[in-house]
Structure 1
């Protein structure tokens, strides 16, 4: 059996579009994209879901908690789940929050640091895991999350070429998720169920190719 780790934020966790900040929901295992991918890949693959709402690349969130910093957890996560065959890394949306004031180049630099941690983590007796860096789709400033991401639209639109350059530097595969799906018009951050379906199908295809 091969192992694929999905390391991301609420859109890997499976948070549906939110009508209010008081909501706390999650798509079921058949609806969120890692579950869609699991069904397509079948019993030959073990899909490991490591999605945390609010997770950033390398930034401490002093409001939601420093445990949201992906850099603080990634090495332990990798060591806990190894050996790994493929890693899907999709982060950066939460780095767009206004309170971080991070330019697109700094967000991509965070992804670069995470890719470096992945490369430096031994994979037991296996070859290094193949890495797929996925750039999140552009956000929209609507609904209950709009003010949290003020100024983030243009930054999100600038990320794909920066992420692609990071992928090239690390010999990783790249996927521009914004060419496949759009964020929900309800909150401008999260994905509708049909977007999870489409994304899971594409990720399954890419993971299968990387693991062959």
Structure 2
């Protein structure tokens, strides 16, 4: 059994657009990925650490605990041994109270990668492989979250390219989720049920070569 930590926000938590409800584990993309890998004979345990509103390295002025860097090293310590850490963050960096751009978020990703690699894990435990996912671009925000993400579609431009370069510089793995799915047509930010399914299946293909093939 191999262990994968998914460190993310509401796009992976599985919030149903325009609601406060959550998709079930087998509907969320991390669950779809786990079940798909198991069906291919590669049993894994996917550990979800996905917090609504989480940024890469910035605080939310209205809600505590949304800085993704705070406590990350301890989360790696808690869940070790880990074979792989999958990071999908950045969307919330572009909320309307921030004036960040793609370069800023890429620097945040580099800080997260550094924290994972320097986490105080027990002697002999492996430093996990790291896979960074660029979330799909924000479309025009709609519905209740529109004020929160106003301007996000402009500020997130170039995110995948910025992440790709950051991952090359840090020698970690990268995947552009925008090549698999767009963000929800319902709210312009999150993922719909069918998009979770498509991403989970695609992620099984992406993750499989990064894991030990087993006996």
TM-score normalized by structure 2? 0.92
Q: CA RMSD in A?
A: 1.3
State the partner residue of 2:129.
Answer: 130
Per-residue deviation, 1:71: 0.7
State the partner residue of 1:205.
Answer: 205
TM-score normalized by structure 1? 0.93
- Secondary structure, in 3 states, of the residue corresponding to 2:148? helix
Structure with more helix by fraction: 1
- Secondary structure, in 3 states, of the residue corresponding to 1:26? coil
Per-residue deviation, 1:122: 4.5
Asked if the contact 1:123/1:129 (under 8 Å) is kept, the reply is no
> What is the rounded CA distance, in whole Å, between the counterparts of 1:204 and 1:82 in structure 2?
21
Asked if the contact 1:61/1:68 (under 8 Å) is kept, the reply is yes
State the partner residue of 1:178.
Answer: 178
Deviations 1:62-82 (A, max 9, x none): 2122x0111112111111000
Structure 2 portions without partners, runs of 5+? none
Structure 1 portions without partners, runs of 5+? none
1:36 to 18, 32, 35: 32
Query: How many correspondences in the alignment?
Result: 207
Asked if the contact 2:101/2:156 (under 8 Å) is kept, the reply is no
User: 4+ residue runs of structure 1 moved beyond 4 angstroms?
Assistant: none
